[in-house]
Structures are given as C-alpha cells and as structure tokens.
A and B are shown apart, each in its own frame.
Chain A
Amino acid sequence: MIAQYAADGIVLGATLALGAIGLTLTYNILRFANFAHGEFLTFGAYFALVFAALFAGGQTLGPLTFGWGFLEAVAAAVVLTGLLALVLDRLLFRALRRSDVTVTLVIASFGASLMLRNVVVFVWGSRPEYYSREIAVRSELLPGVFMSADEVFVIGLTALAMLALALFLSRTRLGRAMRAVSDDPALARVSGIDVQAVIRWTWLIGGGLAAVAGALFGLTVQISPEMGFNMILPMFAAAILGGVGSIQGAVLGGLVIGLAQALSVPLIGAAYKPAVAFALMFLILLFYPRGILGGRT
C-alpha cells in the first residue's frame, strides 16, 4: 500500500517540480514571489485543451490515452503561456519594477492571480474538464504498484524537460547569462549582459514549464479554474524546501512535497492533504530557512 502511495506522490511531485522550477527562476531573477504563477499552470492546461480539440483525431499512442495531437497541443500551450507571462510582465510588473515601490509587485501578482483565475471561469466556465474520456488503465508495474501509461509518461516527460533545462543553463550563452543575472544583476549588467532579454526569456521559460506542468496535471487529475491556485502553495513549499533559486532544489523539493502529500493520506486522511505542504514549509522556515540546496535567504 505504501509503495502505491509513494508512486502517486512521485507523479504529483513531478508536476509540482516543473511548476516550482519556473517559480524559483522568476523569484531569483526578478526577485519577487509571483503568486500568478499558479495561473500559468491553469492557462497552460486550458490552452492545451483548446488545441487538443483542434488537433483531435488520429491514433492514440500505444497504451496512452492520447495521440500526437495532444503533444502538439502541449507544445502550442507552452508557447502561448510563455507569451501570456510576457504580456503580464509588460502590462503590469514592468511598470511596477520601474517605480521605487518594488514591494507592491507581490500584491500585484496576487491580484493578477485572482483576475486570471476569473478570466478562466469567464471564458471556459467553472466545470472540471478532461483531455480524454478514455480511462487510463493501471497495470501492476512493480509488486503492489499500479500505474497507468499516462503516469509513466508524466514522469518521463518531466525528467526530459529538466534535463533539457539543465543543459540549457550550463551549456548555452543565454543560460549562463540567466545564471549571472540571478547571482548578481548589477555585475551582470556591467559585464554587458542584456538584462532585459534575460528577463524576457525567464518569463518565457517559466511560463512554458508551467504550461507543461498544468497539462500533465490535467492529464492525470483534471482541469479546473482552481487547479493552479491549489498548487501554488505546494510549489512555493517545494521552492523554499529546495532553497530558493536552486533548480535542483526545486526538483527535489517538488518530489518531497509530492511524496509527503501522498503519504499523508493513509495517516491523516485526504481532507488535510493540502495542508501538509504548508506544514512542511512552516517547519522549514522555522528551522532551516535556507532550504536544502539554497545558497542564501
């Protein structure tokens, strides 16, 4: 039984980790906690829903409940959500960054989060949606561990996205520029790094990863206007647990939070499952605010 809960936790943790990466990137490079990040997941999931309907038809891939059309839809959702993040930055956050009252960014992002959530309700309604009505059959992969092909796909795609991001940050010029801005913006600027371009790419990448996370959550659970908001707290917990600014930390934090939430169900029941992430975050802040892999607070 425990093994089954752990497997569920890893699937949830993979989605949380993808979301937390974007959160930790924006936190570190733009230096504020973006509460609207959860809505990037929601929008990503709904964008993918729209495109999945457009690209519908065709064969499903092996044991999966979807075909190539869904993957194309996720790719389109990644681009659109990245653009949404850019637009939000251009209209709202950039103006606030320029003014001296920088702290209002957090309030603005909280307001933007509520607004975006209601835009989703306005456009798509408040009923939960699914990508496919097909039932994802779970088979016994390990003794006592049942997983569907979709869930294995979620873990695989997450691992792939993380690998690509790690290579991007360590091997490409832009990736190195992003790390430089994250370490010391002033020094990066005088070294001739185009900070504005780095900020733009941070939004694009953070939004894109959030879209993948949202689509994968929609694939294994469901799509609803509240989904991103319900995940913002576990994602923050993951980012803080791993150490704000650390990509590896966000991944590790996501997995730990996902596992903790899933494993708490047999202990305290499902009702308080969302509070587990909060309790963990609270304890980390109390005793170890730097996080596991973090450099600074």
Chain B
Amino acid sequence: MSDLGGLLSYGVFFLAQAAIFAVVCLGLNLQWGYTGLFNIGVSGFFLVGAYAFAILCGPEYPMRLGGFGLPFPVGLAGSVAAAALVAWVVGIPTLRLRGDYLAIVTIGIAATLQLVALNAQWLTGGSQGTGGIPRPLPEAADTVLGRNLLMLAVVAAVVVAVYAALEAVVRSPWGRVLKAIREDETAASSLGKNAFAFRLQAFAIGSAIMGAGGALHASFIGFVSPQDFQPVLTFQVWTMLVVGGSGNNRGAVLGALLMWAVWTLSGSLAQQLLPADLQVKGGAAQVVLIGLVLMAMLVLRPRGLIGEEAVVSREAEVGPARGAGR
C-alpha cells in the first residue's frame, strides 16, 4: 500500500476511535456539564456497554453466556439499557447525598465491574477477554479500509444523533431544570422540582450514552478484555471534557478529537524515541503529561476551550452582557 493509502487508513482508524470517545464525552457532559454530577466511573459504564454488546452480538463460546448473534442495533440498544440499569442502581443511594459520595461510589463500581469482568468466566471470558465481536453490516465492504470507513460512518452517525438529541434535550424545560438544580438546588426544590429524580434521570441517560460508546468500541475493535477498562480511560474522558469545555456539547466533541490526537501523538512519539526497556516509563510520562494539561486547564481556564454559553431568558431585557454562565 502506498504512503498516502497508509495515512488514509490510519486517519480513518483514528477518527473512528476519536468519535467513540466523543460519544462517551457527550454522555459525561450531560452528567457533569449540565447537571454537575461527578461520575469518575466512566470506564465502568463503558465496560458494561462493551460486554453487553459482546454477549448479545458476539459468537458462541463453550460454558459461557452469549452466542445470540443478534443484529447490531439490538446489541446497541441492549448495551444502552444495561448501562442505564447499572447507573440507576448506583444512583439511588448516592444522588441524595453530597456530590463527593457519587464520585466515591462511581470509582467503586468501576473497580468492582472490572473485577467481575476479570473473574466471572461464564459471563465475560475472564482475563483472556472475548473476541470475534461483529461489526455492523459485515458483508457490506470487503477491504480493511472499506470496513473501517463503514464503521466510521456508523460511529459518526451515532455522534450526530446523540449530539442532536442532547442539544434538543438541554434546551428543553427538562434541561433548564437540570441547570437550575446544578446552580442552586434549594431554589429549584422550592419551585417544586424533585432534584433527586432529575439527577437520577440525567445520570442514567448519561451513563446509557457511555454504554453506547462501549458497544461501538467492542464492535470496532472486535475484542474486549478487562485491561481495556482501566481508570485511565475515565481520566482521558474527563480531560477531553474539561479541555473542550464542559456544559457545551460542541466542546465535548472538540475536546474528544483534540485530546485523542494529543494522546495518540504523544504515544507514538514515546514509542519511537524511547528504547524498549523504557516503554513502561514512556506510558507513565504520557499520563503525567495529560494530567498536567488537565490541572493547568482546571486552574487557568476552568471553562475549557469553548465553554458554556450564557443563556438569557427571552423574556428578559437584553442589555450589555453581564457575567457569563458561571
């Protein structure tokens, strides 16, 4: 294959992965950006989506649940439902309490789900992982590039659909209540809004979107194993959202593309520059680098690159802009 062809297929592969991150990042944006919920168990909901898809659509293995061979949309819907269910269970005891408790419990559920993935042989295939997970429309393309392009199209369609749905939702009365609760829970409650119910809905929907991301990942890579769902994944998605601008869906997508580019470029740079025995240290340095970006962003530019738009009620007299968002 020529250099140009190689570059093209690499570009398609990169974009498909970045777009999967964009889906997950949009889910987190609904939770954190619009509702102010700290979910630091993103990797756990991603895991649930990925394994649910593998079980529903993947091939049959002896002594293991699965082999249903269901079509792609059914698998996607199943992943969404599974992730939403886990979020609902996790949310009930925690969303009534101070925000930090949700952070603690979500990091716990992510760690526990990883243990399940590692040990529940009958469900997940254990540490060996599970493979042969199909792509959508497996017969539609016969070259690697064609198959990857098709996958990119499917993932991009999901990004657009999720983006459009979230844009509509956050501008609806429901979305305004979420923001009101985020800004001042007492005031929102005094207007008769049940803060707990709204939080639970936003948390479950956001996690369901993360589950969809997991399903897309499982289908794209064709293989999942417990090592794919480390806390570093949660960290990557958070960095994407903070850099892009939380509370802004365009910011979430932009952050996913940008930070995934930074991640892969720094990764291949470390791979080329460092000798084999220092590769582990290269990976560590990569996380430290991204961490510095996150810290600097949080301290210097907490609104991110794009940031939340200031929304003024149509009823209000529009004067010179005073104070933006938060």
A110-B235, A111-B294 are known contacts. Are A233 and B108 too (CB-CB below 8 A)? Answer: yes
Q: Please give, as numbers and ranges, the residues of chain B lying within 8 Å of A92 by CB-CB distance.
A: 295, 299
Nearest CB of chain A from residue B41's CB, rounded to whole Å? 11
A110 touches B100 (CB 8 A): no
- What are the interface flags for B76-117 relative to A under an 8 Å C-beta threshold, 1 for contact and 0 otherwise? 000000000000000011101111110111011101100100
A297 within 8 A of B: yes
Q: Which residues 164-180 of A have a CB within 8 angstroms of B?
A: none
A114-B287, A233-B107 are known contacts. Are A121 and B295 too (CB-CB below 8 A)? Answer: no
Q: Given the complex of chains A and B, what is the CA–CA distance between A103 and B235 in angstroms? A: 16
A75 within 8 A of B: no
Q: Given the complex of chains A and B, what is the CA–CA distance between A96 and B291 in angstroms? A: 15
Q: Which of A63-71, A138-146, A274-282 contacts B (4 or more CB under 8 A)?
A: A274-282
A107-B238, A111-B291, A274-B111 are known contacts. Are A33 and B104 too (CB-CB below 8 A)? Answer: yes
- How many residues in B have their beta carbons less than 8 Å from beta carbons of A? 45
Q: Please give, as numbers and ranges, the residues of chain A lying within 8 Å of B93 by CB-CB distance.
A: 282, 285-286, 289
A134 within 8 A of B: no
Q: Given the complex of chains A and B, what is the CA–CA distance between A33 and B38 in angstroms? A: 11
Nearest CB of chain B from residue A93's CB, rounded to whole Å? 10
Nearest CB of chain B from residue A112's CB, rounded to whole Å? 7
- What are the interface flags for A108-148 relative to B under an 8 Å C-beta threshold, 1 for contact and 0 otherwise? 10111011001101100110000000000000000000000
Q: Which of B18-26, B146-154, B163-171, B278-286 contacts A (4 or more CB under 8 A)?
A: B278-286
B115 touches A271 (CB 8 A): yes
B232 within 8 A of A: yes
A100-B326, A282-B105 are known contacts. Are A114 and B36 too (CB-CB below 8 A)? Answer: no
A114 touches B284 (CB 8 A): no
A119-B284, A274-B115 are known contacts. Are A104 and B108 too (CB-CB below 8 A)? Answer: no
Nearest CB of chain A from residue B75's CB, rounded to whole Å? 27
Choice from B115, B235, B288, B326 contacting A122 with Cβ under 8 Å: B288
B108 touches A281 (CB 8 A): yes
Q: Please give, as numbers and ranges, the residues of chain A lying within 8 Å of B115 by CB-CB distance.
A: 271-272, 274-275
User: Chain B: interface secondary structure?
Assistant: helix
User: Chain A: interface secondary structure?
Assistant: helix
B281 touches A101 (CB 8 A): no
Q: Which residues 108-135 of B have a CB within 8 angstroms of A?
A: 108-109, 111-112, 115, 118-119
B298 within 8 A of A: yes
B267 within 8 A of A: no
Q: Please give, as numbers and ranges, the residues of chain B lying within 8 Å of A33 by CB-CB distance.
A: 100-101, 103-104
A104 touches B298 (CB 8 A): yes
Q: Which residues 225-282 of B have a CB within 8 angstroms of A?
A: 231-232, 234-235, 238-239, 242, 280-281
With A110-B40, A286-B92, A289-B96 already in contact, 17 other A-B pairs whose C-beta atoms are closer than 8 Å: A32-B100, A92-B299, A100-B326, A104-B298, A111-B294, A114-B232, A118-B285, A119-B284, A121-B284, A122-B285, A122-B288, A233-B108, A272-B119, A275-B112, A277-B108, A278-B111, A289-B97
B binding-site residues for A, Cβ under 8 Å: 36, 38, 40, 92-94, 96-101, 103-105, 107-109, 111-112, 115, 118-119, 231-232, 234-235, 238-239, 242, 280-281, 283-285, 287-288, 291-292, 294-295, 298-299, 302, 326
A binding-site residues for B, Cβ under 8 Å: 27, 32-33, 35, 92, 95-96, 99-101, 103-104, 106-108, 110-112, 114-115, 118-119, 121-122, 125-126, 229, 232-233, 236, 240, 271-272, 274-275, 277-279, 281-282, 285-286, 289, 297
